[in-house]
Amino acid sequence: MENITKRQLFNVGLFLFSIFIAVPLIISATGRWDFYFTLTSVALLAIASAGVWLTFYIGRINIGQGAFALIGAYVSAILVVKGGISFWISLPAAGIFAAIVAIFIGMLVLRLRGVYFAMITLVLTQVVTLTALALPITNGAKGISSIPLPSGVSLFGIPILPDFATMANTKLAFYYTACILMVLTYAALYRLVNSRLGHLCRSMQQNEELASSIGVNIAHIRIVIFAISSFFGGIGGAMFGSIAQSVYPSSFQVADSVNFMLNCFLGGLGYVFGPMLGTLVLYFGWDLLFELGKYQMLVYSIILIAVIRFLPNGLLSLQFGKGARK
Amino acid sequence: MEQILANGVYLGSQYAMIALGLTLIFALMNVLNFAHGQMYVIGGFVTYTFYGQLGVPFVLALLMSCISLAILGALIEKFLFAPVIKGSKREESTMLLAAGIAFLLDALILLIFGEKQRGVPKIIDGVFNWDFRVIMPYDRILICVLAILSIICFICFMQYSKTGRALRALAQDRTAAQLMGVNVDRYSMIGFALGAMLAGLVGGLLVTITGINLGMGGPTSIKAFMMVMIGGAGVISGAIAGGIILGFMEAIGLAVLSQYGDITYLLIFVSLMIFLAIRPQGLMGKPWG
Amino acid sequence: MQRRALMKAAMIAMSMTALQTTTALAENPVLKIGFVGVTSGPAASWGISNQRSMETRAAWINETGGYKIGDTTYDIEIVSFDDQKDPKRAIAGMEKMAQEGIHYVVGPNVDDGAAAVRPVAEANGIMYFPYAFPKSLYTKPASNAILGMVANYQSGPAIYKYLMKEKGVKTVAFIAANESDPLSQRDSGVAAAKALGLDVVSDNVTYQVDTTDFTPVLTPIMRERPDLLVLSGVSPANAPQLIRSARELGFQGVISTETAQDAGVLTEGAGDLANGFISVGGASTPELASPMMIEFVDRYTKMFGEYNDESNTKVYALEYILETLKADPAAITDVTAFQTTMDRFEAPNPYMKGDAKLRYVGMSSFGQRRQVAVPLVVNVFQDGAFETLFVAEVD
């Protein structure tokens, strides 16, 4: 942490300014209120993608984040609807539950590598979807709908968080909540990557046997990382359930798992903020191309292919390439 | 029981063929081709257009499927995969490219062939019925036989032809193959084209039975991944074994577990996960494929 | 450098599309009607048939001089959004509709999407017409969703009753895809069948959405030898294969479904084996189609090259929106006016012969008028075309 430069501080400040002040200003100036939801989605999906990125960091291709997002969404929905608990408590509970599930599953599957790990996590996504369809507590195929909006929280009579249901503009509230969560997630991610654990992860990414031979407890680290990754997934999913006020087994499925992974690739696997940018471009890009009608998918995929064709190391490699040439 | 076995053989042979193309591409270039299912769908639509719409004989239509997919595969390899593999730091990046191609092909299929389910007239009518113990329509038997024949042809090709030997060398060790004078770029392209062609061939064969629609692509890819993982990634015999195992798992699972209804597939997937957890490289794969 | 230029060009192109404003100069003011549904991927056929029937009708109206509501004549523009069958996208789509100032939206096509867009629709004053059956969407406190077709818990009993009387059906088996919509439809179908005194011999066989070979799936059901096999919520892509597999396994009974199907798809996929297959349709069979319906099919075919019989049930939503607006021009921007008008609205049904009426129903199912009254037309497939078996009404 000691080697944060002024420039980096400035960049972080600029980023915070733009998401918390500039974006709302621009939106109210242009009147594009619909962008709030899109950007909220981007923030939430970026949280889940951050988890996927973290598993990439220990050299695992994770196509199972949709499973943990769905678990998170269901845990939160069940706690709020059936348990009558405040959403703000159910949110961390969803993350923790997803992390616990990840620990159990991780013990089984983290031994796998490469495409095998990718495959087993993909299957995991389907397993969770099918489980949600079969279990009585998740309400099976009917899903859980009409979830109340997050209620207010007050400590010693002082309101800390407002009641979303009484709010005139829940869009803005959700936007800020999602952005705060995203900032926290990425701050944590940055801190993690630059900690001792981060160094150990990098050594594992290079060569697990070697890392293990110099005394790194790789099995332990793998599980910790996978649990953190899934925690992010659970948080993102729970928040989404609350916005949609409904959760279905199909809320997060294989396509979502694949997209989380693509976000990381597109942003660049070598950069902490890669998944955030990747999510923004992939998700927002689709929305921007909305006017193209039936050619939307065609243009979208061509742009995607062009990007990866010319920037195979992700969008952020653009900036680094310039730096290297200097 | 006999019926379950017959279903298993039929499913297994078609699955094995789907998995073959995928595993070939994976073995050669370490690319997990997300667009494999879309290639299968295109193969189906080409056969549908020529056989179902234009009245060309079935065998010729099948050949058209093979040729068009081989060309498509070669182009994709040459202009997209090869440069990306050369330029990327981590070879997993090709997954994004593969997914992009899958989206693109999906969009093209929708624009060219439309959204409807398509089917062709049966190639032969009639049902083989052995005392209600084994019921199998003749066209299924024919497709099953054709699929097995194609698999045998493919194995012979890989085993005995010069191209096949070069491809196997490439799969084993890229650098060594290059040192031995194999033109790596050229054979990578041929291999990719061959893999795509196999996808097209299965698509063309199966359109006579299951028909084809644009939604089949993604799920087919995922199923093919599973088979490849069961057998072991990048191993041809593994893909065949994986296909047959998944075929039998479905046939047996659906028959035995039918009273549990909704959770049949859940159990199939869970057992797959447990199997992979116990044997992380599949049945016969290289450990860290 | 080249790369950066390329990226820049791409970025500019993207922002151009974003900021693009509609500059089409029409003589008439434009009334925008939205569509949020799935028009790509495996279920594309549901949304596309929907979107195309709306576009056909809009083009037809515009060509003949526009649609008169109150004192103004409008051109109709259809704004469609592809939600990729993803509830998250569906919300984005509904937000987009709100952004465009649209108050009337057709879709989404599936349960989860319809439930997910509810908060947005109610917050922004949008009436939407989902093709999803969960009762919670239409019963109070939900206010803005109107069921755009006949629900399976309404059509199912009618079909079963008919088959019990005419064909002596006593036992029934259900099969459904392992997915929210079909499973919910199966459950309500089973309940309806039991209420009618039918013997349900099998109700838990499911198949994965991506199944291509249905023989192993159907084998256990065939052992029960039911008189009737119900394909709950079957997608048009799967129906012909299920029928073919069942017949090839020697099934002799009746096969039926409560969703709309396409005759062309059935012919190609199952041929003569599909004869006798019972499904729900709109009003395009020769016995029922009015000249307007015939012209609609004609225009649709000209516009898109090929008709889709699923569109028969989907022509109505747009017609209802426009007719109701005509009855109460204030409703163009005011959804509460629309809701009050719904209670007394009535207009002749232009797509059907005879004196059928367009009106809002649903009192017995939802306790409020939140369903369009479309004729419950039950069709049977015979030699490549549908024939009408009987017509019923939903209250």
Q: How far apart are CA A84 and CA A118, in angstroms?
A: 37
Q: Does residue C20 have a pLDDT over 50? A: no
Are residues C227 and C179 both part of a single domain? yes
- Give the chains touching B; criterion: ≥3 Cβ pairs < 8 Å: A, C
Phi, psi of C134 (to 5 degrees): -55, 130
Mean pLDDT to the nearest integer, C59-71: 91
Q: How far apart are CA A145 and CA A245, in angstroms?
A: 6
pLDDT of residue C13: 54
Strands B134-137 and C199-207: unpaired
Residue C182 is assigned to a structural domain of this protein: yes
0.95 surpassed by pTM: no
Are residues C118 and C219 both part of a single domain? no
Residue C108 is assigned to a structural domain of this protein: yes
Residues in chain B with pLDDT < 70?
Answer: 261-262, 286-289
At residue A107, the 3 state secondary structure works out as helix
By the CB < 8 Å criterion, does B108 face chain A? yes
Residue C269 is assigned to a structural domain of this protein: no
pLDDT of residue C14: 53
Residue C19 is assigned to a structural domain of this protein: no
| Side chain identity at residue A14, one-letter code | L
**Confidence category of residue C59, pLDDT binned at 50, 70, 90:** very high
Are residues C89 and C160 both part of a single domain? no
Are residues C143 and C50 both part of a single domain? yes
pLDDT of residue B262: 66
Residues of A in contact with C98 (CB under 8 A): 33-34
Residue C274 is assigned to a structural domain of this protein: no
Does residue C323 contact residue C359 with C-beta atoms inside 8 Å? no
Q: Does residue C224 have a pLDDT over 80? A: yes
**Strands of C346-348's sheet, edge to edge?**
C346-348, C357-361, C371-372
- The CATH number assigned to the domain holding C71 equals 3.40.50.2300
Are residues C31 and C135 both part of a single domain? yes
- Give the chains touching A; criterion: ≥3 Cβ pairs < 8 Å: B, C
Are residues C333 and C349 both part of a single domain? yes
Are residues C43 and C123 both part of a single domain? yes
Are residues C116 and C53 both part of a single domain? yes
Closest CA to C46 of C285, C205, C192, C235: C235
| pLDDT tens by residue, C203-213 | 888 888 878 78
Among C99-108, C160-169, C218-227, which stretch is predicted with the lowest mean pLDDT?
Answer: C218-227
Does residue C317 contact residue C150 with C-beta atoms inside 8 Å? no
Tokens of B128: 């083989």
**Confidence category of residue A322, pLDDT binned at 50, 70, 90:** very low
Closest CA to C99 of C126, C129, C130: C126
How far is the first Cα of chain A from the last one, in angstroms, to the nearest whole number? 26
Which residue in B103, B222, B269 is closest to A300 by CB distance?
A: B103
With CA atoms as reference, the chain B residue closest to C212 would be: B210
Q: How far apart are CA C179 and CA A141, in angstroms?
A: 7
Q: How far apart are CA B55 and CA B38, in angstroms?
A: 24
Q: Does residue A271 have a pLDDT over 50? A: yes
pLDDT of residue B204: 93
Q: Does residue A11 have a pLDDT over 90? A: no
Does the N-terminal peptide bond of residue C141 adopt cis geometry, omega within 30 degrees of 0?
A: yes
Closest CA to B233 of B281, B174, B166, B164: B281
Mean pLDDT to the nearest integer, A313-323: 65
| Side chain identity at residue B75, one-letter code | L
Q: A296-310 and C2-19 helices cross at what angle (nearest 10)?
A: 160
pLDDT of residue B58: 92
Strands C254-257 and C228-232: parallel
A211: Cβ–Cβ under 8 A, 6 or more apart, which residues?
A: A200, A203, A204, A218
Q: Does residue A321 have a pLDDT over 60? A: no
Task: Answer yes or no: do B276 and A109 touch at CB < 8 A.
Answer: yes
Q: How far apart are CA C183 and CA A141, in angstroms?
A: 6
- How many CB pairs (< 8 A) connect A and C? 120
Are residues C144 and C38 both part of a single domain? yes
Tokens of C207: 């198949």
CB atoms within 10 A of CB A284: 17
Closest CA to A69 of A129, A1, A2: A129
Print the domain residue range for C209.
152-259
Residues of B in contact with A62 (CB under 8 A): none
CB atoms within 10 A of CB B46: 25
DSSP state of B132: T
Q: Residue A6 burial (CB < 10 Å; 0-12/13-18/19+)?
A: exposed
Are residues C338 and C359 both part of a single domain? yes
By the CB < 8 Å criterion, does A292 face chain C? yes
pLDDT of residue C6: 55
Task: Answer yes or no: do A130 and B95 touch at CB < 8 A.
Answer: no
**Within chain A, how many helices (H) and strands (E) appear?**
15, 4
Does residue A51 contact residue A231 with C-beta atoms inside 8 Å? yes
pLDDT of residue A3: 60
Residue C92 is assigned to a structural domain of this protein: yes
User: For residue A42, how far is the Cα from the chain centroid?
Assistant: 9
C195: Cβ–Cβ under 8 A, 6 or more apart, which residues?
A: C157
Tokens of B13: 């042979």
Closest CA to B242 of A242, C34, A116, C169: A116
How far is the first Cα of chain B from the last one, in angstroms, to the nearest whole number? 37
Query: How many angstroms away from the CA of A120 is the closest CA of chain B?
Result: 6
Residue-wise burial string across A66-78, b where 16 or more C-beta atoms lie within 10 A, e elsewhere: bbbbbbbbbbbbb
Task: Answer yes or no: do A33 and C98 touch at CB < 8 A.
Answer: yes
Residues of A in contact with B285 (CB under 8 A): 116
C146: Cβ–Cβ under 8 A, 6 or more apart, which residues?
A: C127, C128, C129, C138, C320, C342, C360, C370, C371, C372
Tokens of C333: 């921007």
Are residues C165 and C130 both part of a single domain? no
| pLDDT tens by residue, C290-308 | 899 999 999 999 998 888 8
Residue C188 is assigned to a structural domain of this protein: yes
Q: How far apart are CA C266 and CA C260, in angstroms?
A: 12
Does residue C358 contact residue C346 with C-beta atoms inside 8 Å? yes
The residue out of C259, C279, C305 marking a domain boundary is C259
Are residues C211 and C97 both part of a single domain? no
* Domains identified in chain C, total number: 2
- Give the chains touching C; criterion: ≥3 Cβ pairs < 8 Å: A, B
